[in-house]
Amino acid sequence: MTETLFLTSADVDDLADPADYVAAVRDAYRQIGKGAPAKPRTMLYNRDPPGMLTSYTSVLPETGAMGGYTYSAGFGAGDAWFMTPLFDAESGEPLAVLDGASMNPFKTGAAGATAVDALAREDATEIAVIGSGAQARGQLATTATVREFEAVRVFSPTAEHREAFADEFADRIEPRVAAVASASEAVAGADVVITATNASEPVIDDGDVEPGAHVTAMGQYNPKKNELPPELIARATYVPDIRERAAQDAGSFLAAVEAGLVDEDHVAADLGEVVAGEHPGRTSGDEVTIFDSGGTGIETAAAAHMLYKRASEKGRGQTIEFAPASEALTGK
């Protein structure tokens, strides 16, 4: 038998701040850029009852960990659960099983923040956020740690939601946060634009995104849904989290392909290649860059390992046992 740590959300939700997530995730993408393996998500849909089972994985040899997410959404309960298995990258033994709920917005946000750090202009000072849910909050909390931003404008269709978002961050981050009445007002003059919505159609206009801006889009990973207009994809340096995901479920990219504005060669690099220095990313001050984030095992395994190490040091969690395959299959 092998002892493995089981960690609930309550065990880990106070163990790291946004900057900690960014540091762990940035290093994970560097490892991927140097050749460590990661695969896009696998999604299985069920019709009756309607639901989705999703999984994705990565191996981070330098971190010493491998793992990812398996999660269900919908089915009879109409909810979702995030399960994160974590393994030792050298021995293969299970290290931990984490409830991935509380870390989800921060580990996903850390991927976006890593992209901002790698692709946005060094003098970026203004952020536009489109969306006001948990993922938008995670994106802003982490992104605010990678530059000295001065102002944030948030738009969400429901006035109460965007006002609550602005109020929440008023004392949480340094830059001023204001709720505005339209996406165009939020994006105008923004150096960094974050879209984190569940929309099926573009939530910003191409003409509102100024030269030199960086865009992080993370609300959709469905081939039939796109947060960004095809024209914006076409004029930008396009960087997905995993290169092969672009043709699989990156809806904004696929919409631009369908419109005949780009082909699959329009993918400049994946984020790991930029972080590792294998691709320059931004090459000019007036270049528009896009990071298309669909969620990967990269940030998941990195964040889970960080939380596992800190929880172990603090004596948190419960020990459970796993039987190795040799024992389970032979009965010895």
Question: Residues 28, 30, 36, 38: is their CA dihedral positive or negative?
Answer: positive
The CATH number for 52's domain is: 3.30.1780.10
Q: Are residues 40 and 133 in the same domain?
A: no
**Order of all β-strands in the sheet with 51-60:** 42-46, 51-60, 65-74, 79-88, 94-99, 2-7, 318-322
* Per-residue confidence (pLDDT) for residue 331, from 0 to 100: 62
Q: Residue 106: pLDDT above 80?
A: yes
Whether 229 is in a domain gets the answer yes
Domains contained in the chain, number: 2
Please give the average per-residue pLDDT across 4-11, as a whole number.
Answer: 97
Whether 114 is in a domain gets the answer no
Range of 147's domain? 120-292
The CATH number for 251's domain is: 3.40.50.720
Other C-beta atoms closer than 10 Å to the C-beta of 10 total 11
Q: For residue 87, give Cα distances in angstroms to 5, 41, 103.
A: 11, 18, 18
Please give the average per-residue pLDDT across 18-39, as a whole number.
Answer: 98
Other C-beta atoms closer than 10 Å to the C-beta of 42 total 12
Distance CA 205, CA 210 (A): 11
Distance CA 219, CA 227 (A): 7
Q: Are residues 287 and 228 in the same domain?
A: yes
**Over the stretch 157-215, which tens digit does the pLDDT of each residue have?**
999 999 999 999 998 999 999 999 999 999 999 999 999 998 899 999 999 999 999 99
**Over the stretch 266-317, which tens digit does the pLDDT of each residue have?**
999 999 999 999 999 999 999 999 999 988 999 999 999 999 999 999 999 9
Q: Are residues 128 and 226 in the same domain?
A: yes
At what angle are helices 297-313 and 18-33 packed, to 10 degrees? 130
Residue 178 corresponds to which tokens in the numbers above? 């204001």
Q: Are residues 239 and 308 in the same domain?
A: no
Please give the average per-residue pLDDT across 322-332, as a whole number.
Answer: 78
**Over the stretch 216-259, which tens digit does the pLDDT of each residue have?**
998 677 888 899 999 999 999 999 999 999 999 999 999 999 99
Cβ atoms of 219 and 135 within 8 Å: the answer is yes
Residue 167 corresponds to which tokens in the numbers above? 């109020």
